[in-house]
Structure 1
């Protein structure tokens, strides 16, 4: 098992981002099950949406992405996943949850992007 680089430190924002990712997957699943009739297509969307978001994140956005992208590409993927999760809350008539999630995800994303740019520059 490879050890993390010497300069690797887990920050509070990293923990927050992990929780935001989990909440985004939960949100997409909840939306899929509640917005569509059961059993079909509700089960398909309830399982498929979080699965698609997790695959997208894992392939292009995670720290160990299979296809690493530049900063712009990473931002686009993050906005797509987090934005769709926030939109799901609005679609479920929960605008307060959607707005709070979007705000926290936005601030966390900005902090992370600035840290990533600083690591690249330094």
Structure 2
């Protein structure tokens, strides 16, 4: 089933961020500008980011929004990363997180309006 909202924005943003990290890891490795450890972490987390993004795309297509457990895990990952590296690539995760939370709130509010409260059903 394809999402009623159209293009899966949050998952696509995560795939883009992961692909950029993977490319940067390869460039760091090829130029031998930094330690190979840095290249490993950029490439490894880039591939994991692409995998996460593809998974989120599937959830967005199936549900029409990103679910709260995925948003919570992304928020924890972002908070953890920003706590240890305040000026880093973890800042880029704030954009898909914000878009995902906005979509989740919209979907939740739309469901509440549709179902009605007990007082409205009387």
The alignment's TM-score, normalised by the length of structure 1, stands at 0.48
User: Which structure has more helix as a fraction of its residues?
Assistant: 2
Based on CA coordinates, which of the two structures has the bigger radius of gyration? 2
The alignment's TM-score, normalised by the length of structure 2, stands at 0.48
